[in-house]
Amino acid sequence: MEINLLFCYIVSGSDLGVLQNSYSSGKENKERMKVSVVLCTYTMQRYDDFNEAAESILNQAYESIELVVVVDSNSAVYNRAMEDFGSRRDVFLHNNSENRGVSYSRTKGAALASGEVVAFIDDDAIAEKNWIAELVAAYEEHNAVSVGGRMEGEWIADRPWFLPTEFDWLVGVTHPGFGVDGEEVRNTFESNLSFRRDVFLELGGFDKELGPDADSYSHSEGAEIGIRLQAEYDRGVVYNADAVVRHKVFEHRTQVLWLLSRAFEQGASKRRMSVDSASSTGEESAYLSQLAFDRVPRRINGLIRSPSIGAVAQLVMLFVFTAAVGIGYIYAMVHGK
């Protein structure tokens, strides 16, 4: 008590005010890292989902946020979005003159943005209230150039009983053993990925040849830019498991044929990416090693201790999905893709 009184006596009222103002200014400066969130959409069939995604951004706990909406050449969607969000000062809307795909649209959104950080979320996802605050915390703690977070499943239908958690990534959900919190990874899902905006634009944004568009459902655009990030800056994406986005898993995405098709396309995308970068297969090799030497033995032991039809089915499908990815890779290689 005496020490506190002595301190107040030594520091005059004006000096104490300077200290208080300096402290307040420091907090304000910390809060002022502006984050632009790019949200792309393209069809009225997903408008309700888009609206929910947009509201999850506008209701974040972090205040200094700009929402950049890029509509991929759909006047009906753009006009409806203008009605709902056009009067908001923290929302910027753009409509592509022609359908260019999600990679072009995300990059366009980043170019239109004004934030120090640009973050990406899809129109079938919902950000947790502290998502941006957690991303910013990782930038500050690690002096990061890129930060990504964890995707959780928002199962619209029940989770498929045959789907092993090791292949949750097929439906845009972070799988067990993905990464260590606070460490750098090559990439996270594009729907929970952010960059310092100047770094992202310097890299040229996402590869427009990768990512879903009107003609194809190819992927790996996040992995590809992660490789370029490492090559250019010798840095990776800081993984913050507390920066959570929930990805809606619609019923059609839980069907066996859709999942197999997705696995096949993922394999083909990995092949296309490997042609451009010899270093692209490191994460995939580590994942296969984890499957072979950790996850499969663990599942077999669990099956022995507690046998069930579900456990057998998930073990079988683990091999089936792995094979589908491999077949997609080989198909793309044989056909020169």
> What single string gives the DSSP state of each residue in 263-312?
HHHHHHHHHHHHHH-GGGGHHHHHHHHHIIIIIHHHHHHHHHHS--HHHH
Residue 274, pLDDT above cutoff 70: no
Alpha-carbon torsion angle 253, 121, 244, 291, nearest 10 = 50
Residue 263 pLDDT? 92
Percent of the chain with pLDDT over 90: 69
Residues 138-189 pLDDT 10s:
999 999 999 999 999 999 989 999 999 999 999 999 998 899 999 999 999 9
pLDDT band of residue 232 (cuts 50, 70, 90) is very high
Q: Is the pLDDT of residue 40 over 80?
A: yes
Q: What is the mean pLDDT of residues 321-331?
A: 90
Q: What is the pLDDT of residue 244?
A: 98
Interval 82-122: pLDDT, tens: 999 999 999 999 999 999 999 999 999 999 999 999 999 99
Average pLDDT over residues 206-227: 79
Per-residue model confidence as pLDDT tens digits over 277-319: 555 556 666 676 777 767 788 888 888 888 899 999 999 999 9
User: Both tokens of residue 8?
Assistant: 């107040």
What does the alpha-carbon distance between residue 51 and residue 48 come to, in Å, rounded to a whole number?
5
Opening angle at CA 239, ends 210 and 68, nearest 5: 55
Query: Strands, E, within the chain: which ranges?
Result: 35-41, 65-71, 91-95, 117-122, 125-127, 146-155, 184-185, 193-196, 237-249
Taking the C-alpha atoms of residue 100 and residue 73, their distance in angstroms, rounded to an integer, is 8
Is the pLDDT at 8 greater than 80? The verdict is no
Q: How confident is the model at residue 335 (pLDDT cuts 50, 70, 90)?
A: confident
pLDDT over 80 at 333, yes or no: yes
Section 55-62 average pLDDT: 97
Q: Is 155 helix (H, G, I), strand (E, B) or coil?
A: strand
Q: Write the CATH number of the domain with boundaries 33-250.
A: 3.90.550.10
Mean local confidence (pLDDT), 56-60: 97
22-26, 58-62, 134-138, 284-288: lowest mean pLDDT where?
22-26
Give the span between the Cα atoms of 108 and 81, in whole angstroms.
Answer: 18
**223 vs 119, more confident:** 119
To the nearest 10 degrees (0 to 180), the angle between helices 256-276 and 309-334 is 40
Query: Which band of pLDDT confidence, cut at 50, 70 and 90, is reported for residue 17?
Result: very low
In terms of phi and psi (left: phi > 0; alpha: psi -120 to 50; beta: otherwise), the region of 306 is beta
Domain ranges (residues) in the chain: 1-31, 33-250
Per-residue confidence band for 18, with pLDDT thresholds at 50, 70 and 90: very low
Task: Tell me the pLDDT band of 275, cut-offs 50, 70 and 90.
Answer: low
With 0-12 / 13-18 / 19 or more C-beta atoms within 10 angstroms meaning exposed / middle / buried, residue 183 is exposed
pLDDT band at residue 9 under the 50/70/90 scheme: very low
Q: Which amino acid is at 110?
A: A
| Digit-coded pLDDT (tens) for 23-35 | 333 444 455 699 9
